[in-house]
């Protein structure tokens, strides 16, 4: 088995990729010093930590026998991605479609949980409905009540 296809090595490469991506997007932020930290200090340090961890994990994977990665399961990946995209479309107003009116937080969450649940091997409607109810209540408590965000919970009602 090739050690370059082990889970450990690929996860180390993923950490390195995330660290490099963070450095790329934070390249315009001022670093500052340890005493006078700029807005880019913490993101840069976290990116360096991710790079170091990724390097250590990848190098260790080259010297140890690790678990081989499995073939990707496309159904869960596709369904979760579709659910997230539909959540965004239903929750936020779209500037490129002037006549579109967003549905609000609760309908968006219901669609997200339903479609993402279809990606799993087991689909039990009672568990899905329970998840919808609990997630909706928690999101209302956290975002609408706790953080007092100006979001529409149910369009035209609240």
Decide: helix, strand or coil at residue 11: helix
Position 45 scores a pLDDT of 93
Question: What number of CA atoms fall less than 13 Å from residue 11's CA on the CB side?
Answer: 12
Instruction: Give 112-145 pLDDT, tens digit per residue.
Output: 999 999 988 888 899 999 999 999 999 999 988 8
Q: Is the pLDDT of residue 104 over 60?
A: yes
Position 21 scores a pLDDT of 95
Name the phi and psi angles at 138, rounded to 5.
-65, -40
The torsion defined by the Cα of 122, 123, 127 and 129, in degrees rounded to 10, comes to: 160
Instruction: Give 67-91 pLDDT, tens digit per residue.
Output: 777 778 899 999 999 999 988 888 8
Number of Cβ within 10 Å of residue 56's Cβ equals 12
So where are the chain's domains? Answer: 3-63, 74-146
The torsion defined by the Cα of 51, 24, 11 and 64, in degrees rounded to 10, comes to: -40
């Amino acid at each position: 088995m090739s050690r370059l296809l082990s889970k450990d090595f690929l996860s180390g490469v993923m950490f390195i990729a995330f660290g490099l991506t963070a450095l790329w997007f934070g390249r315009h932020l001022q670093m500052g010093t340890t005493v006078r930290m700029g807005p880019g200090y913490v993101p840069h340090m976290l990116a360096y930590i991710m790079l170091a961890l990724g390097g250590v994990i990848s190098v260790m994977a080259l010297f140890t026998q690790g678990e081989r990665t499995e073939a990707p399961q496309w159904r869960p990946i596709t369904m979760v991605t579709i659910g997230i995209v539909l959540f965004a479309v239903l929750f936020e107003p779209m500037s490129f479609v002037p006549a579109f009116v967003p549905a609000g937080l609760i309908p968006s969450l219901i669609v997200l949980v339903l479609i993402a649940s279809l990606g799993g091997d087991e689909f039990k409607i009672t568990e899905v409905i329970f998840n919808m109810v609990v997630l909706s209540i928690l999101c209302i408590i956290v975002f609408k009540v706790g953080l007092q965000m100006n979001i529409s919970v149910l369009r035209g009602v609240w």
